[in-house]
Amino acid sequence: MNIKALNLIKNFSYTFISNLISMSVSILIVLILPKVLGVEEYGYFQLFVFYASYVGFLHFGWSDGIYLRYGGLHYKELNYRLLNNQFIMLVLSQLFISIIIVTVSSFLLDDKDRLYIIKMIALLVVIVNSRYILIHIFQASNRIREFAKITLLEKVIFIFSVTLFILFDMVGFKFFIISDVIGKLISLIVAIYFCKDIIFNTLKNFHFNIRETIQNINAGYKLMFANIAGMLIIGVVRFGVERTWDIATFAKVSLTLSISNFLMIFITAIGIIIFPILKRIDQDKLPEVYNVIRHLLGASLLLILIFYYPIKIALMYWLPNYKESLIFMVLVFPMVVFEGKTALLINTYLKALRKERLMLMVNAISLLFSVLLTVIFTVGLKNLELAILSFLIALVFKSIFSEVLLAKCLKIKVTKDIILEIYMVSLFIISSWFLNTWTAFVFYGLVYIFYLLVKRNEISKSINKIKTLARN
């Protein structure tokens, strides 16, 4: 096995362990917090998590630009002084934005609970975005080990803090928000230590390097807006649910999404590893690599749907207060198939090919489609079932749209695989909705075996190709 293959395995093992802990945190949020908090309190905590997921966009693509421009370089090849300058400027800008958020929200909000959430979000603006630039430096230079440690530390501290609060009977959404902030703050401090060559570089010749800032923002803003649009595809539906129904309904819908999202952790982690590797691969080899990964990924993601059945049964017993919302989990669980493929493969390729503009166009159009669905289902029809289904519809649209455009760039054919995946997911939803749990489980298992028979040649060739690459 060659050095590149060994490094890939090492990097994956680092991210696997750190993301195993991340999955544990997600399980904690999904299983424990709804149990110890009331439905309304859990709703406020989920509202904080919802808002917190968007703070990373307040650097306006600055950090993303560094990630894209310096992706593929080794850490020692980076310009420490230049990145030190960018880090300091970014931190100052986030402090300014944070002060504005606190000031404006204090005048506009009367609800004390929502005001508390906004103030904590303002604090995260500084912490998270200061950490983002360091994380992107690690990812761009393939320092996956350090990135994994930072991720791991944040989650461990969160689990430890939440456990302490529960043991001392300090149960409330505010305590758990504090746990999240503490975890992110300490992980920022450790990230600064890992990047000490950059952060503690001499300030003797420091100046506001506006030119470098503009270049980074210009390179990254398209990716940032593409990411914003991508998140808002789900976000606008959640916002529509929160505005149309009460905080308790929002909590229950958020729970079903959380169950699907925590399965995305490993998938996203692999995408982080693949990006710097793709940046170093010859352009003419990218189509072949894409087909190899896609065949194996498609089979793996469709297999994950099997886990829906035992998860549903376990949660029905564990969280009886959420029983009615768990019925709708079948409508969002297949998000793993399409969003997983998009996050790991399609978007990673588009970033490696520097097709941020194409990503932005796809996500913007998909967002408009999602807004249309939200208006129709939440404002017009006020139908919760259709509103939840719109999560999946919008993500399927985005996945297919982006892959078709990428396939044109790579000059490959993907239509057959897309149709087969839609067929599989449709059978999964229909059987799980109309049949009892165990009958549906057996039915989908047989359908999946049929899928493997249809795809056996492509899967076998992909496995052999990976073995060949590992030996060379």
Q: Is the pLDDT of residue 230 over 80?
A: no
Measured distance CA(347)–CA(35) in Å, rounded: 36
How far is C-alpha 61 from the geometric centre of its chain's CA atoms?
17
- pLDDT score, position 444: 94
413 backbone dihedrals φ, ψ, rounded to 5° = -110, 130
Tokens of 19: 């993301």
The pLDDT-based confidence of 12 (bands split at 50, 70, 90) is low
- The one-letter amino acid code at 8 reads L
Inter-CA distances, 114 with 40, 105, 117, 265, Å: 13, 9, 5, 28
pLDDT digits 0-9 by tens, 337-388: 888 888 878 887 887 777 878 888 888 898 899 889 888 888 888 888 888 8
- pLDDT score, position 442: 94
**Mean pLDDT, the chain, whole residue set:** 81
C-beta of residue 74 within 8 angstroms of C-beta of residue 139 = no
42 backbone dihedrals φ, ψ, rounded to 5° = -65, -35
Question: What average pLDDT does range 134-158 have in this prediction?
Answer: 82
- pLDDT score, position 14: 55
Instruction: Please name the residue that has the structure tokens 């839609």.
Output: 422
Q: Most confidently modeled of 32-41, 50-59, 87-96, 136-145?
A: 87-96
Tokens of 329: 């989990």
Task: Single out the residue of 33, 322, 52 nearest to residue 172, CA to CA.
Answer: 33
C-beta of residue 358 within 8 angstroms of C-beta of residue 350 = yes
Measured distance CA(259)–CA(242) in Å, rounded: 19
C-beta of residue 262 within 8 angstroms of C-beta of residue 33 = no
Measured distance CA(281)–CA(184) in Å, rounded: 34
pLDDT digits 0-9 by tens, 403-453: 999 899 888 888 899 999 999 999 999 999 888 888 999 999 999 999 999
Long-range Cβ contact pairs of 1-4 (< 8 A, separation 24 or more) = 1/470, 1/471, 2/470, 2/471, 2/472
- pLDDT score, position 29: 63
DSSP 366-381: HHHHHHHHHIIIIIIS
Measured distance CA(331)–CA(310) in Å, rounded: 16
The pLDDT-based confidence of 24 (bands split at 50, 70, 90) is low
Q: Is the pLDDT of residue 83 over 50?
A: yes
- pLDDT score, position 1: 47
- pLDDT score, position 340: 82
- pLDDT score, position 101: 92
Q: Percentage of the chain with pLDDT > 90? A: 18
Question: What average pLDDT does range 291-310 have in this prediction?
Answer: 86
The pLDDT-based confidence of 102 (bands split at 50, 70, 90) is very high
What is the pTM (predicted TM-score) of this model?
0.67
Task: Single out the residue of 238, 257, 231 nearest to residue 384, CA to CA.
Answer: 238
> What's the Rg (C-alpha) of the chain?
22
Q: Is the pLDDT of residue 7 over 60?
A: no
Q: What are the sequence ranges of the domains in the chain?
A: 24-208, 226-472
- pLDDT score, position 401: 92
Long-range Cβ contact pairs of 316-320 (< 8 A, separation 24 or more) = 318/31, 318/35, 319/31, 319/34, 319/35, 319/255
- pLDDT score, position 420: 93
How many Cβ atoms sit within 10 Å of the Cβ of residue 365? 15
- pLDDT score, position 202: 63
